[in-house]
A and B are shown apart, each in its own frame.
Chain A
Amino acid sequence: MKHNVEVDITIPNQTRYLGLIGRIGEDLVRSLGRYTGDRDELAYHLNLVLTEAITNAICHANANDPDKKIQVQISASDNSLCIKVFDEGAGFDLEKLNPKDVKDTAECGRGIQIIHRLMDKVDYRRSDKRNVLEMTKKLH
């Protein structure tokens, strides 16, 4: 029998909600019935990926506009994790925010790089009148 868990949350375009979504992500990982890997590490990584993706949506895509919203969908099955973060803004250039080589003493530029390191597939595209950052990871 498959054990799928789906979470769908909409939050205001404000960084104060980062901790809430991060905690939900960690709790979701701890509820995965059949995951045999390091659960604490996966929980931390999901918290981190959600935090980085939502921060990008708030600050870059939605340009800190308090009237905009962010929708977050997390879908977990026995063998994969999929996160979608929808923004309502002009979007951002995924490549520009992912410099190939971030200088050791750079203050910015690590967010999307971290997402790429922790997830297997990352894609940013237009979806109806919004944009979506979709990130997937295989679970072993």
Chain B
Amino acid sequence: MQLKTEEVGDIVLLRIEEERMDAHNSGAFKEQMLALFDEGKCNLIIDLSAVRFVDSSGLGALVSGFKNASAREGSLKLCGMQPQVRSMFELTRLHRVFEIYTSVEEAQGSL
């Protein structure tokens, strides 16, 4: 999956540079997050502003990252969702699981 990674202190900002998160790229995304966790980088902010479409596989990858971050006493926060992506979190009730912010700055300010 195409990502841009930026480290600010102990926070890693992941900007997803794909229009779709689906079964074709969500497995690779999970692996990319696991590699960060293995390096001890456990506080992630994921910027979804470029993502127009997410399916259950994409949501599953984000849940996997959230569980791995939490198990390491870290955090995984989401920001920049387009309205239809946000509606997927509501449809599956995952908006109750994740901390969701409107912008990267707002997510950073919560830490």
Chain A: residues with CB nearer than 8 A to chain B? 15-16, 18-19, 22, 40-41, 44, 47-48, 51-52, 55, 58-59, 102, 104-108, 110-111, 113-114, 117
Q: Are A114 and B23 in contact (CB under 8 A)?
A: no
The interface residues of chain A lying within 8 Å CB-to-CB of B97 are: 104-105
| Beyond A55-B56, A110-B60, 6 additional pairs, beta carbon < 8 A | A15-B23, A15-B24, A19-B19, A52-B56, A59-B23, A108-B56
Known: A15-B24, A19-B22. A107 touches B63 (CB 8 A): yes
Stretch at the interface among B40-48, B88-96, B102-110: B88-96
List residues 55-83 of chain B with CB under 8 A from any CB of chain A. 55-57, 59-61, 63-64, 66-67
Q: Are B22 and A111 in contact (CB under 8 A)?
A: no
Chain B: residues with CB nearer than 8 A to chain A? 19-20, 22-24, 53, 55-57, 59-61, 63-64, 66-67, 84, 87-88, 91-94, 96-97
The interface residues of chain B lying within 8 Å CB-to-CB of A44 are: 53, 84, 87
- CA separation between A16 and B72, bound complex, in Å? 33
The interface residues of chain A lying within 8 Å CB-to-CB of B23 are: 15, 18, 51, 55, 58-59
- A–B Cβ pairs within 8 angstroms, 17 of them: A22-B53, A48-B53, A51-B53, A51-B55, A52-B55, A55-B55, A58-B23, A59-B23, A104-B97, A105-B63, A106-B60, A107-B60, A107-B63, A110-B59, A110-B92, A111-B57, A113-B56
| Cβ 8 A contact of A48, one of B55, B61, B64, B67 | B55
Expressed in whole angstroms, the minimum distance between the Cβ of A37 and any Cβ of chain B is: 15
- CA separation between A111 and B55, bound complex, in Å? 8
Q: Are A104 and B64 in contact (CB under 8 A)?
A: no
The interface residues of chain A lying within 8 Å CB-to-CB of B92 are: 102, 110, 113-114
- CA separation between A35 and B20, bound complex, in Å? 26
